[in-house]
Amino acid sequence: MSEREITYADAIREAMSEEMRRDPSVFFMGEDIGVYGGAFGVSVGMIEEFGPERVRDTPISEAAIIGAAAGAAATGTRPIAEIQFSDFIGIGIDQLGNQAAKMRYMFGGHATVPMVVRAPAGSGTGAAAQHSQSQEAWYCHIPGLKVVTPSTPYDAKGLLKAAIRDDNPVVFLEQKLLYRKKGPVPEGEYTIPLSKGDIKREGKDLTIVTWGRMVPMVLDVAEKLAAERNYSIEVVDPRTLMPLDAQLIIDSVIKTGRAMVVHEAVKTGGYAGEIIATICDSEAFFYLDAPVRRLAGLDVPIPYNPELERNAVPTPETIEKNILDLLD
């Protein structure tokens, strides 16, 4: 398969368009996704190709969007529902958590709910407290949902195609600052299984587990410390948080003997705690040379002030400091 470099946003649009061409039961719905092309321009041009029946502009009602998607999925189609900001999924949490997530179980497997809820997440755009949250731990706590957090264009396309084909509801979280990032993406057909993580950088001194926009940030720090101090840091990107590729993380920690989890979401109740418990409940615990470290966002709403916003979540400086605390 030949490769070219495209943006994260283009990779998502390609995934949706290819699946809509492949399967007539796939359709796309959300606020301003049609003529306007989406709040972040992800769906520009799709309504011209697929028309208003399959690229449906909806009212400003997240409960209606997610509820309609759940009903459509249960009755034979494969909807992709875009929520303009992931913060607003809470308005449709009954439809998502009490209906879509539980329907297959409650009907003994006779009903399937093949739907994807796509949503921009995270801070860094100056959108303040109600439009900048990282709420992945909320969705991981609901049995029946799959939760995906791609960090590269390649992962975004392959994971979204797999999510659309999956017979279960998937929450697909896209960090907003990644939309314009470019990376290699094959022109040919491929998917990425929703249960497989990825080692973004091989190493032997420390395992860092991270996802979303923290992945490129951690990779930059790892390269810097490799050049300056000869530290060999392994970076593990789960890609899918639920179901988690726990064995990949465990094997990495057994190899390196040290572990740190980095995420943008607030520390208290964040998913880092679950990953650390997974490590400590496994054979990897007996290989640890130091306690597992957690670096996360502050337990505050995301500020509007740019400098305060930057420092409410992990930064290259805080990542480097925590690595040095573990390795020096």
Give me the active site residues, please: 131
Q: In 3-state terms, what secondary structure has residue 169?
A: coil
| Separation of alpha carbons 40 and 30, rounded Å | 13
- In 10 A of CB 191, how many CB atoms? 17
Instruction: Give the chain's count of helices (H) and strands (E).
Output: 12, 14
State how far the Cα of 214 lies from the Cα of 39, in Å rounded to an integer: 23
As a whole number of angstroms, the distance between CA 260 and CA 319 comes to 10
Q: CB neighbours of 90 closer than 8 A, spacing ≥ 6?
A: 62, 135, 138
Does 243 sit behind a cis peptide bond, omega within 30 degrees of 0 on the bond before it? Answer: yes
Nearest to 323 by CA among 188, 201, 212: 201
How far apart are alpha carbons 34 and 28 in whole angstroms?
9
Backbone angles phi, psi at 237, to 5 degrees: -110, 110
